Amino acid sequence: MNAVAMPARVASRTLASSDHKRIAGAACMVAFAFFLAGGLLALLMRSQLAADGGVVSQQTYNELFTMHGSTMVYLVIVPVALAVGLYFVPLQVGAAEIAGPRVALAGLWMLLCGGVSMWSGFLTSGGAAAASWWGFDPLSDSIHSPGSGMELWIFGVMLATLGQILWAGCILSTALRRRAPGMTLMRMPVFTWTMVVTCVMVVFGFPALLLALGLLWAQRHFGDVLVDGAGAVDYQALFWFYGHPVVYVMFFPFVGMVGEVLATFSSRRFFGYSAFVVALLAFAGLSMTVWAHHMYTFGVLSNKYFALTSTALIVPAGIEYFDFLATLWRGRLRFTTSFLFALGFLVQFLVGGLTGVILASPPLDYGLNMSYFVVAHFHYTIFAGSAFGLFAGIYYWFPKITGAMLRERLGKLHFVLMVIGTNVTFFPMFILGAEGMTRRIARYPASTGWQGLNILETAGSVVIALSVLVFMWNMLVSLRDRREAGDDPWGAQTLEWATSSPPPRHNFHELPPIRSYAPLLDLREAREEVGV
């Protein structure tokens, strides 16, 4: 497979490149910068709560958690989840490039423009948006959130989301139309399947956010769009129709990474592939119908229906966990950093998932909604869970992307610090929530006795910050003092390992035969049988 590359006429290749690998790499760097910024906001928030007020004003605190949540969802985790798919789906299906490369480039710039727009709010006289990452009406309307910070937020979120929809279209199109000969749908790797399902949710779920934000903007400028009562309900009904699939967009790609990592470091193929694919599809469909469990305490929509669909999520989730554990069964295990992070994901995500089942029950949600119990729940799923899956993927794929291995000792230090940090920060929040601590408060009465646990949580957040510094140090050291990785340092199973590290512009010089979802493993097993 040869290709003719057109010469680039511009100096900056990275930000204008239509190579899906460079676009994905740039997107990850942009997202990482936003992660550091959002993390700094979190440290500020934690100082405020440990000191029980006095660090920032109430209004500023509202801006801090609004921008922290908005940054982490719209500018970090969703973009990274899609960017890793942008990089690896073409490779995993044996394609030379992504479908619609300039559309993918457009998505990168929408992320950048969107993020800049949102954060510019801090430079305005009224400050950044302060109506939470949901931007819910009527708090976010022109009476209660006047000022350009909210406008910049609305447009920023719209741009970032539009970019994500474009990316999802590219990835879906690649997986459906650019597969190499021999790669049927049921031979696509586990990670690719999780990306396909993720992108379907993005395409059919994310437009609801664009509609909600459009209505909000119209309400701010013309009024009488989101009329009292029904208007507030309609905004959140639309928002959460996006807002629930988005948390699965922040889950499935990392599930896919964990699947690849567990299989590779168990030296055997992923268990229960067909059941897993069916479970994924069922899971994604269900996830589009559970969204109003965020609105139980309105008492307006059919709580029982949403309790039914939300609780039913246990079935596909249980199948997926079964397949993860069964992949470890009778495996020859290698405890690399990547593998450790995958194990961490399995254990810690489970805490988030089980507390999610608790919140899915309206009688329990009536008592726990909007409290620190919920804050703990979603940080366990997204940070102690998905972010661990992301690091499993990073330590796994860094050699492929850069051609250099990450240091294992530093990686294990990173892992240990992050386990300690996430649990010390977020577990006490379950207790505080059960004791009646509301979320989004800048201070609390001393008589509640909550300060002790808040101080503990802040200590935990410092440990998390340390773990991030260790990770950054690992990347720096590994790139400066390179240990060459070669094509396939792990003895892995899928097509991205059948090319150089990093891959050439057109991805592959030649492809091995494709007979299952683990083509390289098939080759190795065939050689063993022949006695090579």
Nearest distance from C-beta of residue 97 to other proteins, angstroms: 6
Nearest distance from C-beta of residue 482 to other proteins, angstroms: 26
- Identity at 125, one-letter amino acid code: S
Which residues between 74 and 103 bind other proteins (CB under 8 A)?
A: 96-97, 101-102
Q: With contacts defined by CB under 8 A, name the span among 1-9, 392-400, 402-410, 454-462 that binds other proteins.
A: 1-9
Angle at alpha carbon of residue 378, lines to 376 and 381, rounded to 5°: 110
Binding-site size for other proteins (CB under 8 A) equals 145
CB closer to other proteins, 298 vs 484: 298
User: With the CA atoms of 9, 15, 16 and 21 taken in that order, what torsion angle do they form, in degrees rounded to the nearest 10?
Assistant: 110
Place of tokens 């805490």: 351
Site string for other proteins, 495-524 (x = CB under 8 A): ----------xx------------------
289-to-82, 101, 242, 299, 405 alpha-carbon distances in Å: 22, 32, 11, 18, 42
CB closer to other proteins, 50 vs 442: 442
Which residues between 5 and 34 bind other proteins (CB under 8 A)?
A: 5-10, 13, 15-19
479 contacts: CB under 8 Å, gap ≥ 6: 402, 404
Which residues between 308 and 337 bind other proteins (CB under 8 A)?
A: 308-309, 311-312, 314-315, 318-319, 321-323, 325-326, 328-333, 335
Cα gap 40→34, rounded to integer Å: 10
Nearest distance from C-beta of residue 382 to other proteins, angstroms: 18
Angle at alpha carbon of residue 185, lines to 180 and 188, rounded to 5°: 70
Q: With contacts defined by CB under 8 A, name the span among 68-76, 145-153, 388-396, 488-496 that binds other proteins.
A: 145-153
Q: With contacts defined by CB under 8 A, name the span among 68-76, 139-147, 421-429, 462-470 that binds other proteins.
A: 139-147
Cα gap 465→484, rounded to integer Å: 29
Which residues between 343 and 382 bind other proteins (CB under 8 A)?
A: 343, 346-347, 350-351, 354-355, 357-358, 361-364, 366-371
Nearest distance from C-beta of residue 485 to other proteins, angstroms: 23
Choose, by CB under 8 A, the member of 70, 161, 303, 454 that binds other proteins.
303
Cα gap 121→214, rounded to integer Å: 19
Q: What is the DSSP string of 519-531?
A: HHHHHHHHHHHHT
Nearest distance from C-beta of residue 271 to other proteins, angstroms: 5
Q: With contacts defined by CB under 8 A, name the span among 3-11, 69-77, 396-404, 482-490 that binds other proteins.
A: 3-11
Which residues between 207 and 266 bind other proteins (CB under 8 A)?
A: 208, 217, 227-234, 237-238, 241, 266
- Of 469, 515, 477, the C-alpha closest to 495 is 515
Which residues between 152 and 191 bind other proteins (CB under 8 A)?
A: 152, 154-155, 158-159, 176-179, 181, 184-185
Q: With contacts defined by CB under 8 A, name the span among 26-34, 107-115, 412-420, 481-489 that binds other proteins.
A: 107-115
- Of 183, 176, 275, 253, the C-alpha closest to 494 is 183
Nearest distance from C-beta of residue 425 to other proteins, angstroms: 19
Q: Residue 383 carries which DSSP code?
A: I
CB atoms within 10 A of CB 469: 12
Q: Which two tokens stand for residue 526?
A: 């065939």
CB atoms within 10 A of CB 291: 26
CB closer to other proteins, 253 vs 344: 344
Asked if 135 contacts 209 with a C-beta cutoff of 8 angstroms, the reply is no
Q: With contacts defined by CB under 8 A, name the span among 27-35, 136-144, 405-413, 477-485 that binds other proteins.
A: 136-144
Contact call for residue 451 and other proteins (CB under 8 A): no
CB closer to other proteins, 39 vs 433: 433
Exposure string over 250-288, b if 16+ CB within 10 A, otherwise e: bbbbbbbbbbbbbbbbbbbbbbbbeebbebbebbbebbb
Q: How many Å separate Cα 524 from the centre of its chain?
A: 33
Which residues between 379 and 438 bind other proteins (CB under 8 A)?
A: 435-436, 438
Asked if 67 contacts 119 with a C-beta cutoff of 8 angstroms, the reply is yes
CB atoms within 10 A of CB 383: 22
CB closer to other proteins, 71 vs 310: 310
CB closer to other proteins, 80 vs 346: 346
Site string for other proteins, 453-492 (x = CB under 8 A): ----------------------------------------
Cα gap 118→309, rounded to integer Å: 34
Which residues between 262 and 301 bind other proteins (CB under 8 A)?
A: 266-275, 281-282, 284-286, 288-289, 292, 297-301
